[in-house]
Amino acid sequence: MMSLNRSIFLSNAGISSSSSPFTGGQRGSVPSVPSSLRVVAVNSNRDRNGSVLTETTRKDVRDGAASSSSVIDVDSKSTVAPGGPHDVYGEDAATEEQIVTPWFVSVASGYSLLRDPHHNKGLAFTDKERAAHYLRGLLPPAVVSQELQVKKLMHIIRQYQVPLQKYMAMMDLQESNEKLFYKLLIDNVEEMLPIVYTPTVGEACQKYGSIFGRPQGLYISLKEKGCIHEVLRNWPEKNIEVIVVTDGERILGLGDLGCQGMGIPVGKLALYTALGGVRPSACLPVTIDVGTNNENLLNDEYYIGLRQRRATGQEYAELLHEFMSAVKQTYGEKVLIQFEDFANHNAFDLLAKYSATHLVFNDDIQGTASVVLAGLVAALKVVGGTLADHTFLFLGAGEAGTGIAELIALEISKQTNMPVEETRKKVWLVDSKGLIVSSRRESLQHFKKPWAHEHEPVKTLLDAVNDIKPTVLIGTSGVGKTFTKEVIEAMASFNEKPIILSLSNPTSQSECTAEEAYTWSQGRAIFASGSPFAPFEYEGKTFMPGQANNAYIFPGLGLGLIMSGAIRVHDDMLLAASEALAAQVTQENFDKGLIYPPFKNIRKISAEIAAKVAAKAYELGLATRVPPPRDLVKHAESCMYSPSYRSYR
């Protein structure tokens, strides 16, 4: 059999290290366990005499039992068959019609260690580690550093011309070597962020069925109604701190992608770890599959979700409520649940319904609002004045538009001590039917009604710009090319430095490009977008377009909530996050036309945001981890996950 220090333990079955280890059919002492040992299930192993020893039966595993009576001692005279080890479970001899038990060994040593993404280091295993963990001969003799591995992989990824190929390469890396994936992403964040998230993740979701390989995250469909708690228990990690969940109905600006929206939670949580330092094992991506109304997907043979029209009404509400209740029951009150890419009619209702009972956050409503407010606060250092001195006009009155508008109004109210009902009058919204005005109030959705001000009806954006004369124009419509030349020129005609934020994702849905904004405003616009644009030169000056990316906010916000043990998200936490981000913008950034700091410093930025959010949680009495640390910034940095390789005994 294997040597003494290669005993197998059933960690997931609740079996401790004292559970009947055997050597050569005899009860023996328990050896020290390597730090990388990780066993999930069972299989057979053979000793030097040919005896086959197995771990507990499946029933014993479920019951948490592991006595000597549950160990099967097979005929010691068994020999290895010509095709490999003796077929203990009859799997090789079974016909296709017969049922077999899917036993699987996942011991983090030897060949299995190289297949374990949590512990695999590839060629970075030292000679000592290779000897101790049965890796001799399984790897080429060279030992390389993690830094050289990153350099090699970046060279390979840069050879791909198609962004989706780069995305697939990164997902493959995440599934084979977790630490290397995050090391590469952190060290090359500005280059790789558009690959693992927007805009490339949008294309990945559209083609998710075609590129689907190993499943990532939990898929909870209508089939699981009534047993969601059991489904959550199927997830191998138990100490979950952040869940990102979507129902796939409004993926970026691409519409209903159903079950294939899973790319969004997976991508968001990769950023929680890379940018905010939340442990990968504490993150859980979830897709709620209630069907899709996308006919192309329903007719696509590669579609991976339920082939039915979307469930609505009570059926939908009951499934979501069961999910929210099961999450709280399974992981406790302090698990952060981030709603992602739900359609407007559900997003607002879910946030309103559960914000008083769960730690919930909607990135499309609140995260976008916080990052845009940060950009506006920073831009004031260039254009002058206070927020109350400016007039804001939005194209788009959905989750993002109304969420940003409300946070702007709250910040103005905080600064001026005016009622928020009054400060809302500084903000105007245009939807698909024109300017939102009081004469339309009765026909408006509830979340648009606070923005119905006294004004005559206006049908087009251009007319609204000329009538309202805003100093800030913000696009959240999800419709590309809507900031036309006439609109930008009108903004530039009555503003020395018009602030133009084209926030819709992906790039194809952006209201205008950086080149268009700078050219049509004669280089005077202060511009930022939702998706990245390349630097642009206008009349000898190079402009660096800023990106109002939610990734500036949600990783740091999440870290702050986790490290303070917050039980609720409060609007003041979002304002604190915005102020913390705006404070990171330097004069050097402003000189380049930026209203956001460079992403290369994102971990430092996230630590600052986390500290401000945690401080606000303690101030509001919503934190449970007491007493608070003396230095919240240093504490945030100390809490961050490190992707550097660990040494194994």
- Per-residue pLDDT tens digits for 486-539: 999 999 999 999 999 999 988 889 999 999 999 999 999 999 998 889 999 999
348 and 431 part of one domain: no
Do 122 and 228 lie in a common domain?
no
The better pLDDT of the pair 152, 77 is held by: 152
170 and 246 both lie in a single domain? no
Total domains in the fold of the chain? 3
The length of the chain in residues reads 649
CA dihedral defined by 512, 517, 519, 525, rounded to 10 degrees?
Answer: 180
Regarding whether 304 and 224 lie in a shared domain, the answer is yes
| Bridge partners of residue 529, in order along the sequence | 502, 547
Is the domain of 215 the same as that of 125?
no
Question: Nearest 5 degrees, angle CA 604-CA 606-CA 611?
Answer: 100
Q: Would residue 13 count as lying in a domain?
A: no
What's the number of CA atoms in the CB half-sphere (13 Å) around residue 389? 8
Residues 208 and 339 in one domain: yes
For residue 141, say if its preceding peptide bond is cis, omega within 30 degrees of 0.
Answer: no
Residue 313 has pLDDT above 90, yes or no: yes
Q: Are residues 341 and 252 in the same domain?
A: yes
pLDDT digits (tens, 9 = 90+) for 351-378: 999 999 999 999 999 999 999 999 999 9
- Rg, C-alpha atoms of the chain: 28
Residue recorded with tokens 């644009």: 533
Q: Which residues of 526-558 are buried (b: 16+ CB within 10 A; e: fewer)?
A: bbbbbbbbeebebeeeebbbbbbbbbbbbbbbb
Reply yes or no: is the peptide bond before residue 627 cis, omega within 30 of 0. Answer: yes
Q: Is the pLDDT of residue 336 over 50?
A: yes
- Model confidence, pTM: 0.82
Indicate the DSSP class of residue 596: S
Position 14, amino acid: G
648 noted as active-site residue:
no
Q: What is the pLDDT of residue 212?
A: 86
Instruction: Provide the strand spans (E) within 290-426.
Output: 336-339, 360-362, 392-395
Alpha-carbon distance of 557 to 278, in angstroms, equals 11
How is the chain split among helix, strand and coil, in percent rounded to 5?
A: 45, 10, 45
- Provide the pLDDT for residue 95: 61
Beta carbons within 8 Å of 305's beta carbon, 6+ residues apart? 219, 221, 248, 258, 259, 260, 289, 291, 292, 297
Helix (H) or strand (E) holding 295: helix 295-298
Judge if 345 and 396 occupy the same domain: no
CATH number of domain containing 521: 3.40.50.720
Contact predicate 221/306, CB 8 Å: yes
**What average pLDDT does range 339-343 have in this prediction?**
95
Alpha helices, DSSP H, located in 513-640:
514-520, 554-564, 571-582, 587-591, 602-619, 632-639
Residue at 375 is within a domain:
no
Q: Please check whether residue 36 lies inside any domain of the structure.
A: no
Query: Among 513, 548, 583, which residue terminates a domain?
Result: 548
Q: Do residues 336 and 202 both lie within one domain? A: yes
**How confident is the model over 42-90, as pLDDT tens digits?**
333 333 333 333 333 333 433 444 433 333 333 444 344 444 444 444 5
| pLDDT over threshold 50, residue 251 | yes
CATH code for the domain of 167: 1.20.1370.30
**What is the DSSP code string of 106-140?**
--SSTHHHHT-TTT--GGG--HHHHHHTT-TTTS-
Of 179, 182, 183, 197, the catalytic one is: 197
Residue 334 catalytic?
Answer: no
Q: Has residue 496 been placed in a domain?
A: yes
For 596-615, what is the mean pLDDT?
A: 96
User: What residues make up the domain containing 518?
Assistant: 381-401+426-548
Does 450 share its domain with 477? yes
Pairing of strands 427-431, 392-395: parallel
Mean pLDDT along residues 298-327? 96
pLDDT at residue 611 above 70?
A: yes
What band does 102 get if pLDDT is binned at 50, 70 and 90? low
**CATH code for the domain in which residue 216 is found:** 3.40.50.10380
Inside any domain, residue 76: no
Instruction: Tell me how far apart the alpha carbons of residues 203 and 167 are, in angstroms, rounded to a whole number.
Output: 10
Q: What average pLDDT score do residues 458-480 get?
A: 96
Q: Which of 490, 544, 485, 483 shows the shortest CA–CA distance to 509?
A: 483
pLDDT at 14: 37
Same domain, 206 and 179: no
The pLDDT of residue 101 = 52
**Active-site hit among 121, 179, 207, 268:** 268
Q: Rounded distance, CA 430 to CA 409, Å?
A: 17
Neighbouring-strand partners of residue 23: 26
Cβ atoms 421, 410 nearer than 8 A = no
